[in-house]
Structure 1
């Protein structure tokens, strides 16, 4: 009586089947068949802008205006610096969404001057300087276009900028020489904004192109201000919940104030690339 042995499966065959199934699954995911819509997302960015800043700080006790100064040339501040940023967003409903973002630019420098007026002092020698801005952005958006592979909407929100200016060195104050004098002023500037946003996912796959623009221009009371915030990004989903992206950002803020605690002018423009990591659920 003869018996037949069952054919043994070839290990190479098993590996080939597993690989084929894996390729099929990844191919289906790449075509967007299992790509979920994120309801909450967290984005951490490294922004590397070129910075151009101008500042003027007037005397608080008289009508004397300060010297218009270039932050990079007159203060010795760095023209390029990596700026970390954190963004948290979420969908409130099918078409409503909200975002909060924070980033800060803090630069210090040293320079030699033969006479500049900055606030209440006229600095005449070596100076140490600091210019710091902290920006908080909060916005709510409504998507008038909402499809599986594209979205577009309008934004309302606010940019709040907390600015600090400091100069230290030998100065003449009220006609008297002072060996070490520090002029330090800070101001918080709230700016209501309107804007647009949009995104497009080619083929409903792993890639997503998105962008936004926020605008503000207002003359009220002692303040005259303008803000333009513009960015365009490309995001690649490594997994359904994690993505990496690269983009370009432009941020332009101008404030002219004649208030009691701050009289002068702040202008700074940043533009450059940003690299970010995004996680969503």
Structure 2
């Protein structure tokens, strides 16, 4: 009987060994992650006239133009660990919304003017691509401290016009912004860790004077040596003053909210 128990115990240990001792998903060379981001947006834009230089009306896209405030977005992330100290990571997220509302006041929108009681249809989209070099002076089995040097490339496109299509104006802004940041993670159980990162910068580049704040936190569970799931919170905040022709004005844009995600490493 003792021999049978010993054999059974040995079998259980051999089955568990790959999970206990194999490299976990946070230490592998390549990681791809997909998620769902329940983003709440707060967007205020002032579009100045390109002809004559008139100052536009500051407009809340959600309040004045009736755009959807909350939307679930897909997210995509990747990490390439070149070695234990160096890596490249990135992410991509896009937000696309439409709105329609009858105005309760007159609005100057670029070279267009919308009188009170006019029904205005609007469209806004943003694409955000983040890429960063990661240097990790501490990186040990899921616990990590890293410094980030990267680039946020964001494209805003916004348009508004009367429902009849007789009056309209639009602006498109491509906004590349270098960033610096810090990332940390702490493993507090065999298969659990908490992680977070933050990036920011304020800089004037050409026709743009802008600032960016971006951070995220997450709690992750490695349910397999090559896979994990996580829940967290993402935050993006932009403020951009543009002097570029056709996109003069100020863009104040925030979107944030909870996220769930799945990662696979190899």
1:226 and 2:211 correspond: yes
1:41 and 2:41 correspond: no
C-alpha deviation, 1:26, in angstroms: 6.3
Q: Which residue of 1 aligns with 2:107?
A: 116
Q: Distance in 2 between matches of 1:230 and 1:274?
A: 13
Q: Which residue of 1 aligns with 2:75?
A: 85
Q: Which residue of 1 aligns with 2:130?
A: 137
Q: Distance in 2 between matches of 1:264 and 1:168?
A: 18
1:276 to 253, 261, 264: 261
C-alpha deviation, 1:181, in angstroms: 2.2
* 1:242-253 equivalence runs, <5 A: 242-253=227-238
Q: Which residue of 2 aligns with 1:8?
A: none
Q: Distance in 2 between matches of 1:197 and 1:39?
A: 18
**1:55/1:25 CA distance change after superposition, 3 Å:** farther
TM-score, length basis structure 1: 0.86
C-alpha deviation, 1:233, in angstroms: 0.7
| Larger Rg computed on CA atoms | 1
Q: Which residue of 2 aligns with 1:194?
A: 180
Q: Distance in 1 between matches of 2:11 and 2:238?
A: 50
1:163 and 2:151 correspond: no
C-alpha deviation, 1:76, in angstroms: 0.5
The count of aligned residue pairs is 259
Structure 1 alignment gaps of length 5 or more: 1-12, 171-177
**What secondary structure is seen at the aligned counterpart in 1 of 2:147?**
strand
C-alpha deviation, 1:221, in angstroms: 3.3
Q: Distance in 2 between matches of 1:21 and 1:129?
A: 66
1:102 and 2:102 correspond: no
C-alpha deviation, 1:28, in angstroms: 4.8
C-alpha deviation, 1:258, in angstroms: 1.2
* 1:58-77 equivalence runs, <5 A: 58-77=48-67
Deviations 1:80-138 (A, max 9, x none): 11111111111112200101211101111101114201111001200101111000111
C-alpha deviation, 1:140, in angstroms: 0.4
When the two chains are superposed, the root-mean-square deviation of aligned CA atoms in Å is: 2.2
* 1:166-181 equivalence runs, <5 A: 166-169=159-162, 180-181=166-167
Q: Which residue of 2 aligns with 1:151?
A: 144
TM-score, length basis structure 2: 0.90
**What secondary structure is seen at the aligned counterpart in 1 of 2:167?**
strand
